[in-house]
Amino acid sequence: RVVQNAIIRQGGMPTAMQSAPARCEFRGGIEAYCYAASSVLQPVTGRFIVCENWLNHARVLKGGQDAHLDLLKMMRVEGKKGRG
C-alpha cells in the first residue's frame, strides 16, 4: 500500500499504518464523513457521532450544515493539561 495523497495540517507523515488514518485525512476530511453519514442515516432518528480536533471546529460545523445534518449536542474535549 502506497499513500498517494493526504492532507496534513500539522506535524509530519505518520509511520504506523494502523494509526495513520486517525491522524491524517487519507479517506477524506470531516466534510466527506458528514456527507457519507447523511446519505445513510434514518430521517429524524439517525445519529452521527464524530470526534474531531477542536482546530477543525469550523469545518465540522460547515461540513454538517452542507450535508444537511442538525447539530444536537457538542462537547469540547481537551487533552491532559501540561502535555506537549
User: pLDDT tens digits, the chain, 84 residues: what are they?
Assistant: 555 666 666 666 667 777 776 666 777 889 999 999 999 999 889 999 998 888 889 999 999 999 999 999 998 877 777 765
Q: Which three cell numbers stand for residue 62?
A: 460547515
Neighbours of 67 (CB within 10 A): 19
Amino acid identity, residue 8? I
**Per-residue CA distances from 37 to 1, 57, 79 (Å):** 26, 18, 27
Alpha-helical runs (H) found in 1-84: 20-23, 30-40, 57-66
Model-level pTM greater than 0.75? no
Cβ distance 34 to 70 under 8 Å? no
